[in-house]
Structure 1
Amino acid sequence: MDCDRSILDTTNSFLLQEVAPKANEIDSDPQALFEALQGLGKLGLLALRSDKQVSEATFGDFQELIARYSGALAFVQTQHQSAAAMLSTSNNSTLKQAYLPQMSNGEVLIGVGFSHLRRQGEPLTLAVPVAGGYQLDGIVPWVTGWNLFQHFIVAATLPDGSAVFGIVPFVQTSQKSRGEITFTAPAQLAAMISSNTVSATLTRWFLPQERVVFIKPPGWIHENSKNNILRPTFLATGCAFAGLDIIEAAKESKSLPFINDAFDSLLQELTQCRTLIREAQQKSIGTAERLQMRAWAIDLATRIAHAAVTVSSGSANYMHHPAQRIYREALVFTVTGQTTAVMEATLQRLTGGDEKTRGQAEDTSVRGWRSEEYVRGQGDTGTWETLSPPLPIPPSPHLPLSSPYSRIIHLSHTIDTDIPQWQGDPPVEFDTVAKLEKDGYYLRRFSLGEHSATHINAPKSFHSFGVGIDKYPAESLVVSAVVIDIRAKTAVNSDYVLTVADILAWEEEYGEITAESVVILYTGWQEKWCDKDAFFNQDAEGSLHFPGFGSDATQFLLNERQIAGVGIDTHGVDSGQDTTFTINRLVLEKPRLVLENLTNLDQLPPRGAMLAIAPLLLQNGSGSPVGVLALVP
């Protein structure tokens, strides 16, 4: 039990630090997904189902945690975990010894390709016994992990209806015997596109006996799916928790009572659903009841994801918005491991048909277990009894929904020698002064300007009477943040500046900006950071074109809203056309905050985040490169 708890603690810490801040990138970029997968491997977490390293309940919690922070990572690592579990039950000891030790740490990554066995009609992939093994021919329509996994376990149907499972390379390959495996380009999926899902075609592929994992009898796939109806529910409930994270952030930032009510109601229902599923794992219950629990988890994930979109308002229409990603992930988990029985149960749940099955009144205002009472089936007999709902249990300590914040995000760019630099600023330089092999430790000296990379400006930079960065008190560097998204306007006008009308429109949707907040302008320029020309957008006459704060808007924020400062994802809060640094001069008439070259603003809510700002306390500094952390509710 202590070992299981340690695994979950380790997983939670890794996900919060390394995965949550990059969830959108992991969803779309195969390299980011691969790095996250390798991160799990370095922790030895990629073969938990082999040799029963953890209990079934703990593995469910593990799956739920990953799905909460990244659907793509959850989906892909599930394929590898399944391959490891299959190998661990194989009688092929040579194959097990060759692969299993390296699968746990991610040195070898293996996918699976056998879902086609569930299809009705003629088999898509056939196996014929030949000398020394089997010849495989046919199509595997769905294999996840192209360029992520090195191999995959393929299944093909033998003449007697049984299925042979074996390891084949996950790369286009030809054999001397003229056998070959070819793959399509990755499918353009609606979600988790980074998973690189392809179709494989095997032509006269020779599978030697020593590469065979096992042979399963006819109908094995259907029996296996029936026995594991509840296993995919943890992907759905993890996705549901991801949606609740967004709703809770909206609850805190918008202060609308009906959002509080929705959050409390959905959390209670999700807690009840998880409780019953975990109870079912420990008991022998009927297939009908397990199907209804599976359908309930699917329904909850889609409803909570839809609610997350709802509370996010128009922002959820952006492809990069977390609510948009989570909603699409909920749809993927709806059909993950789907059988016709699961499809039927899901449709009954969505159309209310399960109420009649349970003997509930047709005019009830809730479905099934959402009412003040819920019903539990008795085996497969079709009889039902009405029970009082269980009291809500507190969320797992690995799902800290009630903690002050759910994730921490870096808002600072990595510093290297090739970052965009203001003309005339000193270059970024690194010099090695000690080497590990020679001195026993590694050490570098670095130099850069006070206004390089993500940085903070001090009054001394623009006013002779101004204080240096070393005079800022610590309490002034922890502040709440509001984010005003003007990307729609900067996309058509790179010289756009924030107006008072923009501020009032934002307040109409999110409430009045509170005093002592930092107002951050999200222009979309963070996406141009790796392209210096696009970042500064200099024309033939030498003028710069990037957005910023308008003078009237800044005066309004300082005088009417009493803000603590401003921030932006461009190189300056002054627009590129403002060569007199009007905004910096206005804001820094007092020791306020001016943050420039911020990044990851797409991961912040419009309001509710707290910033922890850590400049170097350079004596009399005009500013400083700065580490900015956002604590997101």
Structure 2
Amino acid sequence: MDCSFLDIAKSFLLEKVAVVASEIDSNPDALFQALRGLGELGLLALRVPCQWGGKEASEESFGDFQELVARYSGALAFLLTQHESAAGMLVASSNSTLQEEYLPRMGNGEVLLGVGFSHLRRGGEPLMTAIPVDGGYLLDGVVPWVTGYNCFHEFIVAATLSNGGAVFGVVPFSDRLVGQERGSITFSLPLELAAMPSTNTVSVSFNGWFLPQECVVFIKPPDWIHENDKKNVLKATFLATGCALAGLDIVEVASLKNLPFITDAFGCLQQELNDCRTAIRDAQQNLLGMTEKLQLRAWAIDLATRIAHAAVTVSSGVANYKHHHAQRVYREALVFTVTGQTSDVMEATLQRLTLRTPPQPSPQAGREEEGFSASRKNQIIHLSHVIDIDIPQWEGDPEVDFDTVAELEKDGYYLRRFSMGEHSATHINAPKSFYLNGVGIDEYPAESLFISAVVIDIRRAAVNADYTLTVGDVLAWEKEHGEMAGGCVVLLYTGWQEKWGDRNAFMNRDGAGNVHFPGFGQDVIQFLVDERQIAGVGIDTHGVDSGLDTTFAINHIVLEKPRIVLENLTNLDKLPSKGIMLAIAPLLLRGGSGSPVGVLALF
């Protein structure tokens, strides 16, 4: 991924934004000019695919960009996030007409879109409702908070349907674009906000507004907003860490006064912020559980407010001036405390502020929930087969070969050379197996290989050698054992491990040469990845894809990110259904598409 846009953005922010950050905070025209400046550089729709004129930035590089903008102007970062959110919704839409009309013009700022859907988080009666009518929907109600009035041309609004779902559609965000024939949309005066008043945040009232079907972005099921918040809990951390960097810049300048206590404070805060930023970036790769993610979010919020407070402290009385940089950064920290806030984020933040959580998330967090405890005696077993020359193999895979190169009697020691394929015996697959620029097995962080697991037993169903796990199977397992925790590995016990000693039985080829063994179904793997946010899968057959699936669909879905895929496991019959920790030890083959692996289970 070409991240040169970060250098371009930094130059623009230093030259055009940092020097007028206080004006951007208070003057809508200055803010909108800064936004248009980013548009002229093509930096307003970074996550949009290249086919629509976007940069197709990775999640990691986009996080870096958000943090960078927030460092130099919180108001600009906040407004930009609304536009990027709208672009992301259009990318996810099945409305190709809207995509063709808007997406190619969003990156350069020719079209600017906002969003108005945070009201879906509120309980009670819906604030916005949608009634299906011929050709579209009638919208009624109030959206209490939409940012970017007189900057964004339109915005994507959400309205609740009678079944609890929500329809999302593009509506005007300007008086001149509102036609009376469609009903009415009215906008309040900009709200009097303590921070970032330049963002022109207004409430919007709808009275019988007709949303035509061609303007519908998508329809989401009930509680979509809450599931979406869980998936995106880390995204707002970059706004907070960017704000923290802004405060740290002020403290660093003050440290030039040669007062040792300021220098010490700067060093301590800088180290903690670096640790927090590193932990957040690691979490993007390692698929932590929800508890750990919430702790990271709370840590970033806590740091932003503490460092902003430190910036006020070292600035002394002048920080009381409305347009002083420390005052602005302090107010921005308050905004980023509640940006995209859910009750879970609120709870985690308060726990952090009242010192009821560890100073930083612990890797052990969440493992006690899965039943693993360092305080009790645990069993440890191998889940890997012994490697020998006659193990079951896919046709065309390299055979296992051992060659003796030193004899004890002759050389004083015994040594063999061995060769085998990267995907032979019990092994782990890496994204490089299926993606040209995928991560190799040597790039997996150590902490991602010590991870919790659950076991789903489908031996009865696997009497049908072509059986694939279903969503119903998962829900039945959860009914008995509780919802599986995010960030775990799902191990599928088919009983195939018992066939390992018989090559023909294990591969189970029919007369036409087709292979038959059970695996994961596409629907269930999408459910596990999207809804349960698992960290990976494992199985006791030669593939997480069923034998008949020659497209490797399951591997493609799971390994879109550097997740865990374990194949040819054994001893799954000795494991409980939950409360398991896996220690996974691959060979760190440089650029490896996978590796034979030793897997230990602790329970």
Give the residue type in structure 1 aligned to 2:348: A
The answer on 1:137 being equivalent to 2:125 is no
Aligned to 2:215: 211
Give the residue type in structure 2 aligned to 1:22: V
Q: 1:124 aligns with which of 124, 127, 137?
A: 127
SS at match of 2:357: helix
Q: 1:354 aligns with which of 354, 357, 361?
A: 357
CA–CA distance in 1 between the matches of 2:277 and 2:125?
Answer: 38
Relative to the length of structure 2, the TM-score reads 0.60
Aligned to 1:330: 333
SS at match of 1:378: coil
SS at match of 1:353: coil
CA–CA distance in 1 between the matches of 2:22 and 2:179?
Answer: 39
Distance change (3 Å), C-alpha of 1:69 and 1:379: farther
Give the residue type in structure 2 aligned to 1:34: F
1:161-172 alignment to 2 at 5 Å?
A: 161-172=164-175
Aligned to 1:579: none
Distance change (3 Å), C-alpha of 1:379 and 1:14: farther
Give the residue type in structure 2 aligned to 1:213: V
CA–CA distance in 2 between the matches of 1:379 and 1:116?
Answer: 34
The answer on 1:193 being equivalent to 2:197 is yes
Give the residue type in structure 1 aligned to 2:151: L
Contact residue 296 and residue 360 of structure 2 kept, 8 A? no
SS at match of 1:101: helix
Give the residue type in structure 2 aligned to 1:315: V
CA–CA distance in 2 between the matches of 1:384 and 1:66?
Answer: 42
How much has 1:283 moved relative to structure 2? 1.5
Aligned to 1:55: 58
SS at match of 1:341: helix
SS at match of 1:238: helix
Aligned to 1:87: 90
Query: 1:6-45 CA distances to partner (integer Å, 9 max, x unpaired)?
Result: 0111111110000000100000000000100001001111
Aligned residues: CA RMSD: 1.6
| Larger mean Cα displacement after TM superposition, 164-173 or 61-70 | 164-173
CA–CA distance in 2 between the matches of 1:264 and 1:127?
Answer: 54
Aligned to 2:319: 316
SS at match of 2:203: strand
How much has 1:104 moved relative to structure 2? 0.4
Contact residue 156 and residue 169 of structure 2 kept, 8 A? yes
Query: 1:350-379 CA distances to partner (integer Å, 9 max, x unpaired)?
Result: 011224xxxxxxxxxxx446xxxx664236
Aligned to 1:303: 306
Aligned to 1:451: none
Aligned to 1:30: 28
Distance change (3 Å), C-alpha of 1:376 and 1:301: farther
How much has 1:174 moved relative to structure 2? 4.8
CA–CA distance in 2 between the matches of 1:240 and 1:216?
Answer: 35
Query: 1:376-407 CA distances to partner (integer Å, 9 max, x unpaired)?
Result: 42368278999xxxxxxxxxxxxxxxxxxxxx
CA–CA distance in 2 between the matches of 1:273 and 1:382?
Answer: 25
CA–CA distance in 2 between the matches of 1:383 and 1:377?
Answer: 11
CA–CA distance in 2 between the matches of 1:316 and 1:382?
Answer: 48
Query: Which structure 1 residue ranges, 4+ long, deviate > 6 Å from structure 2?
Result: 382-386
How much has 1:175 moved relative to structure 2? 3.8
CA–CA distance in 2 between the matches of 1:304 and 1:385?
Answer: 36
Give the residue type in structure 2 aligned to 1:72: A
1:454-533 alignment to 2 at 5 Å?
A: none
Q: 2:17 aligns with which of 12, 16, 19?
A: 19
Contact residue 20 and residue 70 of structure 1 kept, 8 A? yes
SS at match of 1:377: coil
CA–CA distance in 1 between the matches of 2:244 and 2:140?
Answer: 40
CA–CA distance in 2 between the matches of 1:265 and 1:273?
Answer: 12
Query: 1:284-316 CA distances to partner (integer Å, 9 max, x unpaired)?
Result: 211011000000000000000000000001110
Give the residue type in structure 1 aligned to 2:337: T
Give the residue type in structure 2 aligned to 1:205: W
Give the residue type in structure 1 aligned to 2:270: L
Aligned to 2:37: 39
Distance change (3 Å), C-alpha of 1:382 and 1:248: farther
Aligned to 2:106: 103
Identity of aligned residues (%): 66
Give the residue type in structure 1 aligned to 2:269: L
Contact residue 69 and residue 242 of structure 1 kept, 8 A? yes
Q: 2:153 aligns with which of 142, 150, 154?
A: 150
Aligned to 1:9: 7
How much has 1:327 moved relative to structure 2? 0.2
Give the residue type in structure 1 aligned to 2:79: V
CA–CA distance in 1 between the matches of 2:28 and 2:179?
Answer: 28
Contact residue 25 and residue 32 of structure 1 kept, 8 A? yes
Aligned to 2:233: 229
Q: How many residues align?
A: 368
How much has 1:177 moved relative to structure 2? 3.8
Aligned to 1:159: 162
Contact residue 288 and residue 380 of structure 1 kept, 8 A? no
Relative to the length of structure 1, the TM-score reads 0.57
CA–CA distance in 1 between the matches of 2:174 and 2:351?
Answer: 41
CA–CA distance in 2 between the matches of 1:168 and 1:221?
Answer: 20
CA–CA distance in 1 between the matches of 2:267 and 2:364?
Answer: 23
Gaps of 5+ in 1: 356-366, 387-633
Contact residue 368 and residue 375 of structure 1 kept, 8 A? no
Contact residue 109 and residue 149 of structure 1 kept, 8 A? yes
CA–CA distance in 1 between the matches of 2:373 and 2:202?
Answer: 46
How much has 1:49 moved relative to structure 2? 1.6
Aligned to 1:378: 366
CA–CA distance in 1 between the matches of 2:372 and 2:247?
Answer: 32
CA–CA distance in 2 between the matches of 1:90 and 1:375?
Answer: 37
CA–CA distance in 1 between the matches of 2:314 and 2:80?
Answer: 30
